Amino acid sequence: MRNLFSKFGGVVCAVAAVIVMASCGGRKPDNAYTITCTLPSQISDMECVYLYTVSNDRPVLLDSAKVVNGQFKMSGVAPDTIMQALLMRNGNVRELKDLAPMWSFFIEQGDIVIDTNSFFATGTPTNDGINDWMSQLMTAASPEEIARFLNEHWAEHSSDFVGAYVLEMMSAYLDFATVDALASQIPDDLIQRYALFRLFKEQLEAVRKMQPGCDFTDGELTTLDGGSVKLSDYVGKGDYVLVDFWASWCGPCRQAMPELQALAPKFKSLKILGVAVNDDVPDTKKAIDDLNIKWPVVFDNKGAVARTYGVNAIPAMILFSPDGKIAARDINVAELESVLTELVK
């Protein structure tokens, strides 16, 4: 989920180190890293590139470099733990939702090479491992193929950063039982070392408590005009209620709206509640108009309700039965029609 981050000072385009490299005697530190890249021709005229990470839910500018003849290089001292890095064109990002990286990779000791023909870097153990697994997973045609690959290859990275990271990345495409079984094998020391994996385990625990058949848990929401409402103002009132977690900036969320609008009239006992997650009011209002959304839309400004239900990616849909119990979750529009047809028959 996204929120605002602290202000940056002025950004200077220069080849700078994330952590200044020791220069005494010119000796390269044992944990030094370099990042090299040759940009594709369509963007080789860029003047600068900027290196970010995310810390405590805030984007942090780490480094910048001049692009010379379509190439750049950065160097520094690797942190004690593996750090995710995002390479961007913009050196003045103000919000997490505005992070639109050209490439994502991981900083660790060694010579990191950004492959512009791929989404992933190579050259160090973590980057090579993630590149290998994700390249294969991106060719999978179905969630079943993703699950089969992870089950067959899990032993290769079950106790390291690569396995935990790829599982977290793929979790939105897999059934909960598969994810939960594999995640239970992630070592405790790895979970304690990285906030990303602690949040992943917390999210899985929330999903475990919010399975179909469980009673709904109430939560505070905000109306378009700033008023305060609760989930219980909509759920458990005698109708099936679909809670659709979305945002104006989420492309897949917007793409799903026409299907949802076509489905809604087929089931008279179905009501829809849109819950905008970490969105700006003007942007949400414009999206409501542009998409011709007719159902109520409220805000989950701090993502508290989403976290309660273990929602870690949007779009996400949860269907509640007339008595307020969870009828289905993590379904798409096509699956929703099948579920409702069975329930309302």
* Per-residue 3-state assignment (H helix, E strand, C coil) for 207-265: HHHCCCCCECCCCEEECCCCCEEEHHHCCCCCCEEEEEEECCCCHHHHHHHHHHHHHHH
Whether residue 133 is contained in a domain is answered as no
Lowest mean per-residue pLDDT among 7-21, 35-49, 138-152, 260-274: 7-21
Dump pLDDT digits (tens) for 91-117: 888 777 778 888 899 999 999 999 887
Here the CATH number for the domain that contains residue 117 is 2.60.40
Residue 338 in domain: yes
Confidence of residue 184 (pLDDT cuts 50, 70, 90): very high
Domain end marker among 66, 91, 123:
123
User: Has residue 16 been placed in a domain?
Assistant: no
Q: Is the predicted pLDDT of residue 222 greater than 70, yes or no? A: yes
Q: How confident is the model at residue 345 (pLDDT cuts 50, 70, 90)?
A: low
* Total count of domains within the chain: 3
- Kindly report the pTM of this predicted structure: 0.77
Confidence of residue 7 (pLDDT cuts 50, 70, 90): very low
Domain-located, residue 171? yes
Residue 293 lies in a domain: yes
237 and 167 in a common domain: no
Domain containing residue 276: CATH number: 3.40.30.10
Domain co-membership, 179 together with 248: no
What integer pLDDT is reported at residue 72 of this predicted model?
A: 94
